[in-house]
């Protein structure tokens, strides 16, 4: 193929995906399905499992788009974590996020092990189960203009869930390695601590100069370039240093939100450009879904899905009760936390590298359940936000 032909295919692919994203957005306004679910379904249809319309080079785009999209989402989540918000919601957010992570992992492990699943498999799936999909949750909130105390609590939990989840996964992976006689269990724990601690330090190191710069350039294009440049720099440095890029971006956002005088400017700039990246991300994520994986996982995937759901419901209710959260929040918040995507798949791949002999068990379960959680999860999140009254508010609260 000539160079001009290759460029034509790239441009046609970009244009076609953006048009498909527009159609999904329009369809979402006239159907009960959130646009993220429609984008995932559209991506699945054009992907290799059905029509196989996407060129091979899109496989190379997906990891980059994942980093960009989740870094943008992480930065915007940081906006919600101001001192004032934490004074109002911090205790409930921390208690419910810890509750659902601990209870989900504990329930998945104990029940699977009790029914004869190998201990190493039960431990690895227990470490993966708490992971969430912040991009899907945030997009549902933004698409329907959800607002209220419940929504603020939900976004707070989503913002810190993956930090707890990474730590839990690292610890359980180390336990599994120790039980199997593998060396390097302590290295696994140290790796998890490095990934979280390094992200905190990097996010702070980039957030401080960003907070200083914000408001010192005039609003408009320079501010947008400043914000996007620093977010992408954060994601790139996090990948290079092998720390969590979404946590790095979130800490940077938290720093800016709490220290910058004109802190709203960079967040508004990112909000103005994130949707095209999310269109590509969700479409290619949908294309990566394989129904065959769910069929191959069988009953173990069904048990994993059910236990993850029950663990979230029980964990958030216990955490909400201990923290004094209002009954509506602790009763419904677990259902709004069902989406699960890229972080879980990444954990599954890491587990498969450590336990190659378990790859054919772990990957089908996680990939198969991702099909369910990523497509149905946003629908349940939207229903929950409607049920508690945070969608359709007109009171400005």
- Alpha-carbon distance of 162 to 118, in angstroms, equals 26
Q: What is the pLDDT of residue 208?
A: 92
Q: Phi, psi (5° rounding) for residue 338?
A: -80, -35
Q: Phi, psi (5° rounding) for residue 276?
A: -60, -40
Q: Range(s) for CATH 1.20.1530.20 in the chain?
A: 60-387
Token pair, residue 364, equals 């089908």
Q: Is the model's pLDDT at 397 over the cut of 50?
A: no
358-393 pLDDT, tens digit per residue, is 877 887 888 778 778 878 888 999 999 998 888 875
* Residue recorded with tokens 């989503």: 158
Helix (H) or strand (E) holding 82: none
pTM, entire model: 0.72
The yes/no answer on whether domain 60-387 falls in CATH 2.40.30.10 is no
| Rounded average pLDDT over 260-286 | 79
- Alpha-carbon distance of 147 to 395, in angstroms, equals 10
Q: Phi, psi (5° rounding) for residue 115?
A: -95, 20
Q: What is the pLDDT of residue 395?
A: 45
17-21 LR contacts (CB < 8 Å, sep 24+): 17/279, 17/280, 17/283, 18/276, 18/279, 18/280, 20/46, 20/279, 20/283, 21/276, 21/279, 21/280, 21/282, 21/283
Q: What is the pLDDT of residue 51?
A: 85
CA 330 → CA 91, 212, 389, distances in Å? 13, 38, 15
Computed from CA positions of residues 142, 146, 148, 154, in that sequence, does the dihedral angle turn out positive or negative? Answer: negative
Mean residue pLDDT across the chain: 81
Q: What is the pLDDT of residue 308?
A: 93
Residues contacting residue 70 through CB under 8 Å, at least 6 positions apart: 134, 135, 245, 246, 249, 342
Taking residue 55's Cβ as centre, other Cβ atoms within 10 Å add up to 12
Contact 290, 367 (CB under 8 A): yes
Contact 380, 305 (CB under 8 A): no
114 pLDDT band, cuts 50/70/90, is very high
Instruction: Report DSSP letters for 285-350, one per residue.
Output: HHHT--HHHHHHHHHHHHHHHHHHHHHHHHHHHHHHHHHT--HHHHHHGGGGG----HHHHHHHHH
194-215 pLDDT, tens digit per residue, is 777 888 899 999 999 888 877 6
């Amino acid at each position: 193929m000539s160079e001009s032909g290759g460029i034509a295919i790239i441009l046609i692919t970009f244009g076609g995906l953006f048009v498909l994203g527009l159609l999904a957005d329009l369809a979402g306004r006239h159907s009960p399905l959130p646009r993220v679910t429609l984008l995932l379904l559209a991506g699945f249809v054009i992907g290799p499992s059905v029509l196989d319309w996407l060129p091979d080079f899109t496989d190379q785009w997906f990891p980059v788009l994942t980093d960009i999209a989740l870094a943008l989402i992480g930065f915007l989540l940081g906006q919600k974590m101001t001192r004032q918000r934490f004074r109002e919601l911090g205790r409930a957010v921390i208690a419910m996020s810890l509750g659902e992570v601990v209870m989900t992992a504990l329930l998945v492990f104990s029940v699977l092990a009790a029914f004869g699943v190998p201990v190493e498999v039960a431990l690895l799936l227990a470490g993966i189960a708490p992971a969430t999909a912040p991009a899907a949750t945030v997009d549902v909130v933004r698409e329907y203009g959800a607002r209220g105390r419940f929504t603020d609590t939900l976004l707070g939990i989503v913002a810190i869930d993956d930090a707890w989840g990474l730590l839990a996964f690292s610890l359980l992976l180390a336990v599994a390695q120790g039980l199997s006689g593998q060396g390097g269990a302590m290295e696994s724990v140290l790796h998890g601590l490095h990934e979280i601690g390094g992200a905190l330090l990097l996010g702070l190191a980039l957030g401080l100069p960003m907070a200083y710069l914000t408001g010192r350039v005039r609003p408009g294009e320079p501010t947008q370039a400043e914000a996007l440049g620093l977010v992408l720099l954060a994601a790139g440095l996090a990948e290079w240093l092998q720390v969590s890029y979404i946590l790095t971006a979130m800490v940077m956002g938290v720093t800016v939100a709490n220290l910058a005088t004109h802190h709203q400017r960079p967040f508004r700039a990112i909000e103005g450009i994130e949707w095209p990246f999310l269109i590509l991300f969700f479409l290619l994520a949908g294309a990566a879904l394989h129904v065959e994986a769910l069929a191959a996982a069988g009953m173990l995937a069904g048990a994993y899905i059910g236990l993850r759901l029950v663990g979230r419901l029980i964990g958030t209710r216990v955490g909400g009760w201990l923290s004094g959260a209002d009954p509506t929040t602790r009763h419904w918040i677990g259902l709004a936390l069902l989406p699960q995507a890229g972080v879980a798949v990444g954990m599954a791949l890491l587990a498969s590298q450590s336990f190659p002999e378990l790859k054919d068990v772990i990957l089908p379960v996680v990939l198969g359940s991702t099909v369910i959680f990523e497509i149905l999860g946003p629908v349940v999140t939207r229903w929950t936000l409607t049920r508690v009254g945070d969608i359709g508010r007109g009171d400005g609260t």
